[in-house]
Structure 1
């Protein structure tokens, strides 16, 4: 799966999962800058439901935001030297701006209100800069932030191999480092940081044959088109690959 996480991802990935064998692990190569956290929960549940074994996420490059949420619901996360998870920082869809960090949007509005209060003559400039952002969008962003803890719990609890105590502990471990502390939406969370909060990660070195295979597969997709323009969902039989213009 190489794409933004959106409601459409549910249908596209479901097609790939249609013919999987329940007695085998599911390995999902995931590259995404994030997207809709609610859709991420549905994707996790689909993957967990499709196998009686383990749901394993392979991260060759970036699996940020909502894609990190998908990783929280995995039984195993395979990472290497180029792997990058991120803060569990909800994004919202802001029209022409695409997906934006809810934290960043609220911080920007607060900064503008403070600046206008101190320097009223800047109102027109700020109004132009924040065109399209209204109070409803700001409230939606705040609601998304308030729901982050519930989203994290739903993601982790989707792994039914974890007991309630294990779910509680992992949620507590994640709260600070991945939700509250990060100052930037694009903050890097590598193997070491993921391991420290208790995520089920395994690290492969660049010399490892399995990592070479993962990187080789990712490189083939990367060669099709720029990573940020590529949309790919592929399974044993289903294939949807597009390069967006």
Structure 2
């Protein structure tokens, strides 16, 4: 066992406590467990590989996931990478797995959702940075809708053009085209994620047809909630967590540790953690 100095151990005691819970869950279920709590961006891949570096591929891989969404292309890469490291992929959703995180869930063999857990529309998110350098995410559908409405109103009332030009000053043509391209790619990402879970072509086609309306076409808001019952109704392998089980007790205990240090959605701290690796920022 690695020996640590008293001060170092005290400084990282919260991390060690979380990793002990991860090991407890792994031993109880004979699986590998990793945790990702963050927006999904390009930087996710390298840190994910760090968590997967020694995963036993003959075991199931369980992923505790909480994310408001992000880059759908990265989510697809993540699920493909995880599927090569396990027998089956199980995603645990104690809170939210929106947009790109929903894409990731589509590639799993099981989706276990807590009573407050929800998926969301596949609504591509665009990253905006303000003058201070702080970034935020805006739905591609919202960008396109805002520009189209501004164009319509300015056409109907030319005198209003300066107002709408000011309101949309942060949106340039490149961003608009990127938003439109991301929306056009949504259905393909959904289909490719479903295929990553080892489904047959017929199963992927049937699920894609069932999911296109509720996940892509119909939702008007990125915050729309897709509950476990909705997900099951659409044909996804979603199930409600057994709240009386020892497994869920550990998962909820682990989640409250992350919540208490300001991870999503309570704050903006990102976490990537496993039994041997831990990255927080």
After TM superposition, is the score higher than 0.5? yes
* Deviation per residue, 1:168-194 (Å, 9 max, x gap): 111111011111111111100010110
How far residue 216 of structure 1 moved from its aligned partner, in angstroms, is 1.3
**Candidates 191, 213, 221, aligned match of 2:228:** 191
Match of 2:128 among 90, 94, 105: 94
Aligned residue runs from structure 1 range 75-114, under 5 A: 75-96=109-130, 98-114=136-152
Shift of 1:111: 0.9
Please show how residues 147-166 of structure 1 align to structure 2 within 5 Å: 147-160=185-198, 162-166=199-203
Secondary structure, aligned partner of 1:50: coil
> Helix, strand or coil: the match of 1:230?
coil
Among candidates 162, 182, 205, match of residue 219 of structure 2: 182
Q: Residue 136 of structure 1 corresponds to which residue in structure 2?
A: 174
* Structure whose CA Rg is larger: 2
Q: Distance in 1 between matches of 2:72 and 2:38?
A: 14
Gaps of at least 5 residues in structure 1 are none
- TM value normalised by structure 1: 0.94
Distance 1:217 1:148 in 2: 32
What is the TM-score when the length of structure 2 is the normalising length?
0.82
Structure 2 partner of 1:127: 165
Q: Give the Cα separation in 2 of the matches to 1:173 and 1:42.
A: 23
Aligned length: 240
CA–CA distance in 2 between the matches of 1:137 and 1:95?
12
Q: Aligned match of 1:9 in 44, 55, 60?
A: 44
Conserved? CA contact 2:37–2:263, under 8 Å = no
What do you get for the CA RMSD once the two structures are aligned? 1.3
SS in 1 for 2:116: coil
* Superposed displacement of residue 209, structure 1: 3.7
Structure 2: 5+ residue stretches without partners = 1-35
Structure 1's 226 and 71: CA in aligned 2 closer, same or farther, altered over 3 A?
closer
Say which is worse superposed, 118-127 or 12-21, in terms of deviation.
118-127
State the SS of the aligned residue for 2:148.
Answer: helix
Alignment equivalent of 1:44, drawn from 79, 104, 109: 79
Residue 234 of structure 1 aligns with which residue? 273
Number of the residue aligned with 1:65: 99
Q: Is the 8 A contact 1:81 1:205 kept in 2?
A: no
Shift of 1:83: 0.3
What is the correspondence of 1:19-30 to structure 2 with a 5 Å cutoff?
19-30=54-65
CA-to-partner distance for each residue in 1:14-44, whole Å, 9 max, x for gaps? 1000011111110000000000000001100
Q: Once structures 1 and 2 are overlaid, which stretch shifts more, 116-125 or 137-146?
A: 116-125
Q: Does 1:216 align with 2:253?
A: yes
